[in-house]
Amino acid sequence: MNDALVVLVVLAALALSALGGWPLTAAVLRVAARSHDARHETTRGAVDPEVRPDAEPDLTGEGVHAPAGPALEPDLAAAAEPDPARAPGPGADPTSSSSLRGGTWIGVLERLAVTACLVAGYPAGIAFVIAVKGLGRYPEIRQHPETSERFVIGTLASMLWAVAVGAVARLLVSG
């Protein structure tokens, strides 16, 4: 395969990996949010307004955002008042919700890195991507444990897509 075609295949794989992972991850998270075993409760047992089954997930799968409209049904409004035990720690952004911030861009960069590792013939590099993402998100997940399920599901869906695209591109490039 000539050099120009190799560059074209690599660029196409990177674009497909980065952009194609968005709808796939969003769909997987929608299905997971509606599954019978999904928990949408706070530590007090009230429905968490940030994690409603009808909420739209972040395209990377790292957060779920409530749709526009009434936030809660009237009988749930009283139960969703802030719980002092769940208050953010010192230095935390008081306006932030339990969803992870920057997830869309992190997901795009993650898929690009995973696909690039496979195309370059360095699959061990995926371990670095996982380590950086996990260590970078650890403080947020520790502060908001209810987000860990969405983090894991979104990360797996995103990485599986990137691995599939990267493996096909590697096969095409290595001929």
CA–CA distance, 139 with 52 (Å, rounded to integer): 23
Q: Which residues contact 97 (CB under 8 A, 6 or more apart)?
A: 50
pLDDT for residue 147: 87
pLDDT for residue 146: 79
SS (H, E, C) the chain: CCHHHHHHHHHHHHHHHHHHHHHHHHHHHHHHHCCCCCCCECCCCCECCCCCCCCEECCCCCCEECCCCCCCCHHHHCCCCCCHHHCCCCCCCCCCCCCCCCHHHHHHHHHHHHHHHHHCCCCCHHHHHHHHHHHHHHHHHHHCHHHHHHHHHHHHHHHHHHHHHHHHHHHHHHC
CA–CA distance, 63 with 107 (Å, rounded to integer): 11
pLDDT for residue 113: 98
Mean pLDDT by 10 residues, the chain (175 residues): 93 97 92 78 45 50 46 36 41 47 89 98 96 91 87 94 98 91
Q: Where are the domains of the chain?
A: 1-9+21-35+47-65+98-175
pLDDT for residue 47: 44
- Region of residue 91 (left: phi > 0; alpha: psi -120 to 50; beta: else): left
CA–CA distance, 140 with 103 (Å, rounded to integer): 12
Provide the whole-model pTM: 0.66
CA–CA distance, 136 with 52 (Å, rounded to integer): 26
